[in-house]
Amino acid sequence: MTEKLPLVVIVGRPNVGKSSLFNRLTGSRRSIVTDEPGITRDRIYGRAEWEGKTFEVVDTGGIVPGEKAAIPQEILRQARVAIESADRLLLVVDARAGVTPLDSELAEVLRRTGKTFLVVANKVDTPQQEPLTAPFYKLAPEVLAISAEHSLGVDVLLDTITKDFPKTEGEATEEPVQVAIIGRPNVGKSTLLNRLVGEERAIVSPEPGTTRDSVDTLLRRGEKSYRFVDTAGIRRKGKTKLLAEKLSVVLARKSLERADVALLIADASQGVSAGDATIAGYAQQSGRSVIVAMNKWDLALEAAREKAGRESQHGQQGSRQGRKPGAQRIRASIADPQRLAQEYERLVRQRFKFLDYAPVVFLSALTGERTGKLFALIDHVAEARKRRIPTGELNRWLSEVDLDRGTSPMARRVKIYYITQASSAPPTFVLFTNQKKRLHFSYERFLENQLRAKFDFLGTPIRFLQRLKEK
């Protein structure tokens, strides 16, 4: 196991350029950058490298220590968690604005930790503006002028940050399983992330849209590593009005594109909505492997019990009037939660017909019920995604398939002479056929079902390419 990387934590009041600096150091567009203050709320983790030295960078939310509202207080608490584990602290300030009371207050907060910190005076775009940094020396003995937007002074900042960091060149890095947690706003994505990693990594609030950035969390469990990405709740385009929310949706879909497995969260207490189906469509189109997690199963069970009680009471009244009780099936399901889950799963699969290959799990992120089973399922699905079947074995399977059973509006009877796997993640197969145009989707579905019956491709989509017969 590799040693823990040095941790650099970026703090500062809202809208001083913390996210721009984070993106500059990590060479990414992970944090949202706009003129609207308060965009970053959670701790955003990224990895940076400078002169053979690798380190982690954390972008914290804009801190306002005196705020009493729930989310600003939670931002401050999240920032303090990062500060406690920091190896380097960067207090980012706006050089053009001068020293504000909030800058001074944040500097005092950092001093009380007993850790030294560096003041990074951002938005110094020309050498002529460097005198603007002079007032900030009263906050800390070391002040560096930079322009995160134009990358001016960033090389000097990196030299200063990493001067005591160890070299990491040539060190083998394990590639973790990338898991994107996706779903509508307020279905429990952040709660599930916190449950899986065993700490409060993401802000949890009953206010929809609390998560705006995609929050990375690297977790090692036994010999395996996972990188969970808690994405912003994806709304339909018509429901997304603020610029920050629109950017959040874009970043959520980008996070989906770089994942191996999409963990699609839906609210079991509300059922599957049209919005859930839209997001499932994004996952299916992206070619990610998918696990459907019906969260808040405890609330769904409670609602079912209440309904059974009402139906039971109604049934007793009906039986006294000579009618058959209408709650017998519901009471039987409540008595057997496994049976109720099976009935519920049938409803889920009706709404997600195009994800019939995805396993469905019922859990409660809040209580932890059944969440422990997710890791084994993620491992299974991630492994199936990378599975390769030897060409000989594929063609032996093909020789056993009754191709005439497949329904197709094709004029010519379908013959498949040869099959080979072109790639994995997702598994993609090349078919050599007697057809002059692409096979009908219903016939491809038949082949896919036959392939899944023989080989374990749980949770992963399957693609077919076809070599057409020349006319």
DSSP 6-32: PEEEEE-STTSSHHHHHHHHHTS--S-
Distance CA 425, CA 386 (A): 5
**DSSP letter assigned to residue 405:** G
Q: Which tens digit of pLDDT belongs to each residue from 97-141?
A: 999 998 998 899 889 889 889 999 999 999 899 999 999 999 999
pLDDT band for 374, please (50, 70, 90 cuts): very high
- Structural domain span for residue 210: 177-385
Residue 2 belongs to a domain: no
Residue 14 belongs to a domain: yes
Q: Which tens digit of pLDDT belongs to each residue from 385-394?
A: 999 999 999 9
On whether the CB atoms of residues 231 and 251 are closer than 8 A, the answer is: yes
Q: Give the CATH number of the domain where residue 444 resides.
A: 3.30.300.20
Q: What percent of the chain is modeled with pLDDT above 70?
A: 74
Q: Do 340 and 410 fall within a single domain?
A: no
On whether the CB atoms of residues 188 and 200 are closer than 8 A, the answer is: no
Neighbours of 101 (CB within 10 A): 9
Residue 337 belongs to a domain: yes
290-315: average pLDDT? 82
Q: Give the CATH number of the domain where residue 36 resides.
A: 3.40.50.300
Residue 167 belongs to a domain: no
Distance CA 247, CA 72 (A): 21
Using the structure block, give the residue that is written with the tokens 């879909």. 253
Q: Do 204 and 119 fall within a single domain?
A: no
Whether the pLDDT of residue 240 is over 90: the answer is no
Average pLDDT, the chain: 80
The total of structural domains in the chain comes to 3
Residue 169 belongs to a domain: no
pLDDT at 381: 97
Residue 157 belongs to a domain: yes
Q: Do 345 and 420 fall within a single domain?
A: no
Q: Pairing relation of β-strands 7-11 and 53-59?
A: parallel
Neighbours of 303 (CB within 10 A): 14
Q: Do 113 and 199 fall within a single domain?
A: no
Q: Which tens digit of pLDDT belongs to each residue from 210-224?
A: 343 445 677 888 888
On whether the CB atoms of residues 49 and 79 are closer than 8 A, the answer is: no
First to last CA, the chain: 58
Residue of 298 and 32 predicted with greater confidence? 298
Distance CA 347, CA 358 (A): 14
Strands laid side by side in the 416-423 sheet? 416-423, 428-433, 463-467
* Last-in-domain residue among 335, 355, 385: 385
Q: Do 342 and 456 fall within a single domain?
A: no
Q: Do 109 and 127 fall within a single domain?
A: yes
Residue 171 belongs to a domain: no
pLDDT band for 316, please (50, 70, 90 cuts): low
Q: Do 135 and 190 fall within a single domain?
A: no
Burial class (CB in 10 A: 0-12, 13-18, 19+), 231: buried
- Backbone φ/ψ region at 97: left (φ over 0), alpha (ψ -120 to 50), beta: alpha
| Residues present in the chain in total | 471
Q: Do 137 and 255 fall within a single domain?
A: no
Q: Which tens digit of pLDDT belongs to each residue from 62-89?
A: 555 555 544 344 555 566 777 888 899 9
Q: Do 346 and 398 fall within a single domain?
A: no
Q: Do 109 and 246 fall within a single domain?
A: no
Hey, is 439 helix, strand or coil?
A: coil
Residue 357 belongs to a domain: yes
* Last-in-domain residue among 99, 133, 161: 161
Distance CA 316, CA 334 (A): 17
Q: Which tens digit of pLDDT belongs to each residue from 424-464?
A: 999 999 999 998 888 888 999 999 999 999 999 999 999 99
Q: Do 154 and 189 fall within a single domain?
A: no
* Last-in-domain residue among 131, 161, 191: 161
Q: Do 256 and 359 fall within a single domain?
A: yes
